[in-house]
Each structure stands twice: as C-alpha cells, then as structure tokens.
Amino acid sequence: MIDSSMIKGIIVPVVTPMHDDGSINTEELKRQTERLIQAGVHGVFAFGTNGEGYILSSEEKRIALKAVIEAAGGRVPVYAGTGCISTKETVEQSLMAEEMGADVLSIITPSFAAASQNELIAHYRKVASAVHLPIVLYNIPARTGNKLTPDTVAHLAEVENIVGAKDSSGDFANILSYISASHRVNPDFRILSGNDRLIIWTLIAGGCGGIAGCANVYPKTIASIYSLFLEGRIDEAIAANESIGSFRECFRYGNPNTIVKKAVELLGYGVGPCRAPFNGLSDEAVEAIRKVLEENRRKGME
C-alpha cells in the first residue's frame, strides 16, 4: 500500500551548486539541503527545474541525489525529478532513484514532441508499473509543450502509486480542476502548486502544499505559509505568501531558475551560476536582485 501522507507542505527544488569547472559541488549541495531543513521545509527535491535537472547527465543526477539523501538523513522526504523525454529513459532514471533511496518521484511530462493525452497516460502507466515509489505528476506546459488535462490526471489517479500532481502552469483554474477531477476518483490524491504565488490558495482549495523554487531564497518565510495554514492563521499565511512578490518581480529580468540561483549566491552561498547557456544576467538584473534581497532582509524575511 502506497502512503501518500508524506506529500505535503513546502518542498524545495534545491539548486544544484557547481564548481567553476561546471562539476557538481556536492559539499555545498549538502550544506544547502541542511540549510533548508533547518529552516523548516517539509521536503527536498533533487534536480527539479530549479535544480537544473534538464541539463544534468544521468551520472550527475546520481551524484546529486546521493548528496541530498545523505544530507537529509531521513528527516524529510527526498523527491527525485526523473522525467525524461522517452519512456525508456524515464523508467531507467526512476529505477535509479528508487535504488538509491529516494522517497518520491516527480515526473515531468515528456517534452519537445507533441504528445496526445493517450500517449501521456500510456507513458505514466508504464513508468508506474516499473517502480514501487509514489509518483507525483508534473505539469509545466510552458516549458515542455505538453499539458496534462484534468481528465488525464483523474485517469492516472486510479493508478495505485500515482498519488499526486504538481501544476506549474500558473493557472489557478487548472489547479482547481485538478483537485475536483482527481478527488472524484481518489479523495487522497495530492495536488501541489508549482507556482509559488498560488501556494496558500491551493491549500485553501484543498491542495496539500507547494513545490517552491523561491524557497531556496526564503525557506523559512515560505515554509511558514504551510504551518500558519495548519494553525488556522489564514491572514498571516496569505501575507507570508504575498511577501515573496517583490522577489518574483525580478523574474522579468530572465530565466526564473537563473534568478533564483543568483539570489542564493548573493546571499553568500557558493552555489555558482546556472550551467551555460542559461546563465546570463545583465548588471541591471543583478542589481535589482541585490536591492530586493536587501529590502526583504530589513523586513526580516529569510
């Protein structure tokens, strides 16, 4: 029997620190994992979108996952982003993560080539049949070109070890549709917001939390959204969620992953830049990030 109760709260797709030569800085990755756990997050996600999973080799993913699992030490669930373009490679990566001791698989839709909903259903069913870990579907159509419809999510919610879905479309109506469609089939199906600004609204609507890239920068503030919600302090949870708005405004300067990693570096951590070619930021962008970080530091955000 698959236990999906661990899938809740604020899960952080931890940035993947890199040395100057581009190799993975495992010691800094462990430090970042520890920093996030100490701040109160409820899960750590290795090589998600903010962890640059899209540009890491299979061996690098193995190295990163090992570091995160060792640093977490069983204190919070460790998620692994094992989705690839092909079903074959997704199965291989998922088996690797299961073998290494990951707790949850986050599987992004295949990308580049257009996939029908029937093809996506077949893809996820094949992967689910190959592993025993709980699987969270990952919908981010702006990046992949393929969207999981609410009907498809409901269909896949019938599979025993497909236990949740993360929606990063930015469309709150889609999150609401995921909740209503999946819960008709499986009331325990877990819906997570992949858009940081929608975390509290997803919780209020019946979701279970969020996978939050900005929590690399403000882990304590974003983790508090969930704890405040559980305590019934909804207005304070809304305020905590809205407090990251000024930082998210910096996303207009470039790729959000690049902005987040640069911000972590500007906080004084040796995470290095994103891997080329996704590492270019103007001087104006860096100054804007620096300014927002300082403003929010004075407000007590961390």
- What positions carry a catalytic annotation? 138, 166
Residues in the chain: 302
Beta-strand pair 135-139/162-167: parallel
SS (H, E, C) 115-157: CCHHHHHHHHHHHHHHCCCCEEEEECHHHHCCCCCHHHHHHHC
Please state at what angle helix 219-230 crosses helix 234-242, rounded to 10 degrees: 160
**Rounded CA gap, 148 and 45, in Å?**
21
Name the burial class of residue 220, with classes exposed (0-12), middle (13-18) and buried (19+) by CB atoms within 10 angstroms of its CB: middle
- Reference 26, options 59, 2, 74; nearest CA is 59
